[in-house]
Structure 1
Amino acid sequence: MNRRQFIVGSTAAIVALRAGTALAKSKMLAGENTEIALWKGVPPGGGGPTGDEELSAKGALSNITRPSLKVYRPDNPNGQAVLVAAGGGYKRMEMGQEAWPAAEWLKNLGYTAYVLTYRLPDEGWNDGNLVSLQDAQRALRIVRSREKHVSVLGFSAGGHLLGMAAVRSDFQSYPEQDALDRTRAYADRAALIYPVITLEKPYTHTSTHKILVGPHASDAENAQWSVQNFVTPKTPSMFLVQAEDDPISNPQNTLIMAAACEREHVPVDMHRYSSGGHGFGMGKPGTPTVEWPHRYKEWLGSV
């Protein structure tokens, strides 16, 4: 099943994906939003999978052949844009559970949301573990060329990805492709929801670690892909969310990131909840995680 078939043909399935607020009607997803290709031709390095993108019944996207941005523009934009990245351990993107509900929620509040479909490192791309970061940096450049105020919102591995993009805006992950790549790829602020932050020991059990550096990575390689190691006084302010019973991303991740921000005097707003597990998207009903979008709304509005 390809992405368009899922969006247009599975209205009931989409609406059934609860995320604190219901998704809008499928005609809004299919008809009112536009898509932007990240690259004019072959992405940096080349390679990659063939065939159509694959989308599960629950909205998990993989077999990415064409990285892109989907734009969710409200009727009355408030002048702020948010780049959104779903998680999935760099093996897939949980669009139906995370990115699409978040984009609709933001759109309803007046924010222009850009949902990132990024390449997955384990799908045969020649640039390997750099490809997702290449796409995130390119996406930031595209969004910044269109919008004045840009923040990022990443879930799980998407939190790791946009966390890396936020703290490493000076890192050149790919050769210049065109004039756009002479501009800076940076975010004004970053919201990371149950993110994978560190790949260093003893936190080496995640799919993010396995895909990006592998089970036999050196300490230096682990450190190179750990977000907290690149926090500086110039790092954008952070909004962090995690459940204390998270079985995937160790709950220490948000504490590690908050400590790095505090050390460098970077403003950080952290919200930790007693239960909710992992992958709760815009909030898991029956758990205190349903509260985090309200805190996020306040944080976004405090510019």
Structure 2
Amino acid sequence: MKRRNFILGAGTAVLMLKLAALQAKDPTAPSETVELWNGVPPGGGGPSGDNTLTSHGSLSNVVRPYLQIFKPDKPNGKAVMVAAGGGYKRIELGGEGWPMADWLTQRGYTAYVLAYRLPSEGWNAGNVVAMQDAQRALRIVRSRESHVSLLGFSAGGHLMGMTATLGDSQTYAAQDSIDSIAAVAEGAALIYPPITLERPYTYTSTHKVLVGADASAQEEAKWSVQNRVTESTPPEFLVQAEDDSVVDPHNTLIMAAACEQRGVAVEMHRYATGGMGLGWGGGCADEGMAGEV
């Protein structure tokens, strides 16, 4: 397997061992919150009222997508955009996004935690809304930072995988000068991600929300990350437990094989035990979220 220290620099080989020791807790307050769109997001529609955040940090009814920016005391000049999971039905900020931001800032990284629109909440643009938000968010981060990597958990891993492999694809019409910035990253870390939506891996919430039970093989292939990997895809870092009963462990193998076939640097860490969430404190398993990927 072609390996390279790329996403978080030295120490990536033990990343998940450190993550397992974290506990979801009251997060460090973000330094800044930035809404992604000037007014109504592309296509309009969507839920009404205000964004809904539970006491456990589970976000839904995402009316206004945004980035929360967490700054370290001693910046190392690198940034990571983080997308938590939740099956595209909710976003587990408290169980994944905020603890990851704390971990990153303690090591000098500026963390940008993404609150993206949920395709299941009635947006006119349908299943592309989270992709639009991720691409716009990456451009905003790139307007501020010179070195940007992506990191996603579960369905957020699918979203960051799709974002990393978009290339020159445009998911929305340009709104302002920020949209002239290339939506590219230096690398992507995908943590227990549902990579493929193709058969026989069609039972996840990610599949149900994005393409539905009656999806064609062509639509399933379109939304499968491994089919979008090209020679220009940035290096990938993959993590999963072999006893994961929610996201089939073959997902990371499928992504690693696609990267190797196209000459993309990939580093994969698979653990014999850990299940869904790899022992991540307060994550989706603790929220009763099994199956919501």
Give your verdict on TM over 0.5.
Answer: yes
* SS of corresponding position for 1:271: strand
Structure 2: distance between partners of 1:63 and 1:173: 22
State the partner residue of 2:206: 208
Superposition map of 1:29-178 within 5 A: 29=29, 32-178=30-176
Identity rate, percent: 62
Q: Is the 8 A contact 2:81 2:150 kept in 1?
A: yes
Give how far 1:57 is off: 3.2
Q: Where does structure 1 lack aligned partners over 5 or more consecutive residues?
A: 1-17, 286-303
Partner of 2:197: 199
For structure 1, which segment, 140-149 or 274-283, has the greater mean C-alpha deviation from structure 2 after superposition? 274-283
CA pair 19-271 structure 1, distance change in 2 beyond 3 A: closer
Q: Is the 8 A contact 1:82 1:111 kept in 2?
A: yes
Per-residue Cα deviation, 1:71-93 (whole angstroms, up to 9, x for no partner): 00011110000000000000000
TM-score normalised by structure 1 residue count: 0.84
Deviation at 1:22, TM superposition (A): 4.6
State the Cα distance separating 1:125 from its structure 2 match.
0.6
What is the DSSP-based 3-state SS (H/G/I as helix, E as strand, rest coil) of the residue aligned with 1:122? Answer: helix
The structure showing larger relative contact order (alpha-carbon pairs under 8 Å, at least 6 residues apart) is 2
Q: Which residue pairs with 1:7 in the alignment?
A: none
1:20 corresponds in structure 2 to 21
Q: 1:154 to 1:59 in 2, by over 3 A?
A: same
Q: Which amino acid aligns with 1:248?
A: V
Q: Secondary structure at the match of 1:143?
A: helix
Distance 1:221 1:25, change over 3 A: closer
- What is the identity, as a one-letter code, of the residue corresponding to 1:153? L
Give distance in 2, aligned partners of 1:231 and 1:213: 20
**Is the alpha carbon distance of 1:201 and 1:22 closer, same or farther for their aligned partners in structure 2, counting shifts above 3 Å?**
closer
* 8 Å Cα contact 1:200-1:226 kept in structure 2: yes
Question: Is the CA contact (8 Å cut-off) linking 1:19 and 1:101 kept in structure 2?
Answer: no
Q: Which moved more, 1:116-125 or 1:271-280?
A: 271-280
Is residue 35–residue 68 contact of structure 1 (8 Å, CA) maintained in 2? yes
Aligned residue number for residue 8 of structure 1: none
Q: Distance in 2 between matches of 1:24 and 1:169?
A: 36
Provide the rounded CA distance (Å) in 1 between the counterparts of 2:139 and 2:173: 14
Stretches of structure 2 that go unaligned for 5 or more consecutive residues are: 1-18, 284-293
Report the counterpart of residue 15 of structure 1 in structure 2. Answer: none
Does structure 2 retain, via aligned residues, the 8 Å contact 1:133–1:161? Answer: yes
Structure having the higher helix fraction is: 1
Aligned residue for 2:275, secondary structure, equals coil
Segment of structure 1 superposing worse, 105-114 or 177-186: 177-186
Preserved CA contact (<8 Å) 1:155 1:281:
no
Alpha-carbon offset, residue 20 of structure 1: 1.7
Q: Secondary structure at the match of 1:110?
A: coil
What is the aligned length?
265
Give the drift of 1:194: 0.1
- Do the aligned residues in 2 keep the contact of 1:176 with 1:182 (CA within 8 Å)? yes
Bigger CA drift: 270-279 or 234-243? 270-279
Q: Which residue of 2 aligns with 1:236?
A: 234
Rounded Cα–Cα distance in structure 2 between residues aligned with 1:109 and 1:281: 21
Query: How far 1:58 moved relative to its partner?
Result: 2.3
